[in-house]
């Protein structure tokens, strides 16, 4: 796992705060989102200056299109596009990202049709492409990728990752704070790090921590597309949690003793067992996106062999092996339902992370 090559990477951060149409409320925090995320990407991913463009309240779709085109043409390593503002759904159920002059009655003529943005990013030559949406109903951006056409296979091959602030049927929350709820969590994760992650924070690490924190705060659950592909293994930031001392000495003059604060021991309870893996049953789908059944079964056989071995010894599989696993997409023939497999793989990944922590403490 590695951090992006900042000189060969590009980021475009779009924020819309003010709207002409009376039905669209101001999102003042969008400007703060963009400014803070730009600072974070410069600090953590090395994307600085004109290579990280902040576009707040763009004039129209043409200005956005020119900025997206420039970033897509010049990015070689990482291309990241972020949007913060209102998300609106048109008559076809497709997502549109609002601009200052957007009229709900004139979608998609006055907004950014997400399908335009996705196509431009998808066709970019960058090794890894990331879209982050902080808007109401942003999960709709993922649903067409899961359901229509052979999109998932293309995304997996080309290293694409989409992260959204909410499911397809849910609003996102701004609150009366400096940042919107979702972007505030994202900035906290990048600043504070993650206890269970390694030295670097992958896109998948960030997604799982965002989901955990959102659930704890009663916020909409973030969504992702591009599960278990190479893009998830690209790091977006160093893990600052690792910079914290695992042991702290405090000198108390009156008692001359040292108080030790130890890193908590890994859980002894398995997240998933070999028997569960042997007995798992996935829904079979046809004429819809699925995973090749033979490939998934073969991978799970490897998982069983890993889980029957002691957690305290050398590990046959790592969490990274699960995170970067790839399966052929099926549609015309029967395959396993994608979301079910991905959810189960997330549990396996968590178990292997737990085992790696156990083995590390005993080595």
Q: Encode pLDDT of 199-240 as tens digits.
A: 999 888 898 899 999 888 888 888 887 645 555 567 899 998
- Residue 160's pLDDT is 75
Mean pLDDT of the chain: 83
Sheet strands (E) in the chain: 10-15, 52-56, 78-84, 87-89, 95-97, 112-113, 128-134, 160-164, 200-202, 223-225, 235-238, 284-285, 290-291, 329-330, 335-337
pLDDT digits (tens, 9 = 90+) for 163-206: 888 876 666 666 557 899 999 999 999 999 998 888 999 888 89
- Residue 29's pLDDT is 93
Asked if residue 245 has pLDDT above 70, the reply is no
DSSP string covering 152-200, please? HHHHHHHTEEEEESS-TT-----TTSSS-HHHHHHHHHHHH--TTS-SE
Instruction: Compare 90 and 228 and report the one with higher pLDDT.
Output: 90
Instruction: Compare 172 and 321 and report the one with higher pLDDT.
Output: 321
d(CA 325, CA 31): 37
Share of the chain above pLDDT 70, in %: 82
Asked if residue 307 has pLDDT above 50, the reply is yes
- Residue 162's pLDDT is 85
Asked if residue 103 has pLDDT above 80, the reply is yes
Distance, first Cα to last Cα, the chain: 23
Determine the average pLDDT of the residues in 340-361: 85
Asked if residue 322 has pLDDT above 70, the reply is yes
Which segment of 184-193, 253-262, 324-333 scores lowest on mean pLDDT?
Answer: 253-262
Instruction: Give the model's confidence band at 51: pLDDT under 50 very low, under 70 low, under 90 confident, else very high.
Output: very high
Q: Give the pTM.
A: 0.68
pLDDT digits (tens, 9 = 90+) for 118-169: 999 989 999 899 999 998 877 777 665 544 443 333 334 346 788 888 876 6
Which segment of 10-24, 98-112, 233-247, 281-295 scores lowest on mean pLDDT?
Answer: 233-247
Instruction: Give residues with Cβ within 8 angstroms of 150, minimum separation 6.
Output: 289, 329, 331
SS3 (DSSP) at 53: strand
Which segment of 120-129, 249-258, 318-327 scores lowest on mean pLDDT?
Answer: 249-258
Question: How many Å is the Cα radius of gyration of the chain?
Answer: 22
- Residue 148's pLDDT is 42
∠ CA(234), CA(236), CA(239), 5° rounding? 110
């Amino acid at each position: 796992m590695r951090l992006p090559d900042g000189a060969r990477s590009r980021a475009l951060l779009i924020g819309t705060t003010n709207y002409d149409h009376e039905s669209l409320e101001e999102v003042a925090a969008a400007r703060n989102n963009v400014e803070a995320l730009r600072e974070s990407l410069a600090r953590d991913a090395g994307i600085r200056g004109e290579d990280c463009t902040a576009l707040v309240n763009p004039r129209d779709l043409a200005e956005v299109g020119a900025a997206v085109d420039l970033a897509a043409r010049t990015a070689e390593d990482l291309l990241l596009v972020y949007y913060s503002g209102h998300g609106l759904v048109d008559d076809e159920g497709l997502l549109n990202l609002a601009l200052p002059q957007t009229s709900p009655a004139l979608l998609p003529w006055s907004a950014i049709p997400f399908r335009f943005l996705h196509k431009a990013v998808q066709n970019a030559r960058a090794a890894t492409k990331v879209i982050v949406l902080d808007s109401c109903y942003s999960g709709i951006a993922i649903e067409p990728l899961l359901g229509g056409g052979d999109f998932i296979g293309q995304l997996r091959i080309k290293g694409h990752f989409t992260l959204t602030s909410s499911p397809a049927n849910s609003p996102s929350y701004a609150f009366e704070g400096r940042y919107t709820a979702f972007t505030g969590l994202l900035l906290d994760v990048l600043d504070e790090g993650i206890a269970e992650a390694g030295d670097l924070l992958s896109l998948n690490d960030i997604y799982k921590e965002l989901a955990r924190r959102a659930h704890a705060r009663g916020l909409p659950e973030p969504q992702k597309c591009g599960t278990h592909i190479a893009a998830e293994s690209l790091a977006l930031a160093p893990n600052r949690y690792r910079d914290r001392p695992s042991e702290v000495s405090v000198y108390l003059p009156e008692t001359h003793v040292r108080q030790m604060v130890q890193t908590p021991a890994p859980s002894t309870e398995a997240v998933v067992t070999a028997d569960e893996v042997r007995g798992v049953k996935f829904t079979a789908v046809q004429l819809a996106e699925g995973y090749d059944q033979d490939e998934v079964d073969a991978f799970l056989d490897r998982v069983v062999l890993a889980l029957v071995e002691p957690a305290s010894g050398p590990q046959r599989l790592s969490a990274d092996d699960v995170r970067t696993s790839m399966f052929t997409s099926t549609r015309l023939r029967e395959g396993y339902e994608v979301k079910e497999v991905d959810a189960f793989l997330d549990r396996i990944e968590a178990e292997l992370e737990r085992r790696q922590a156990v083995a590390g403490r005993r080595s």
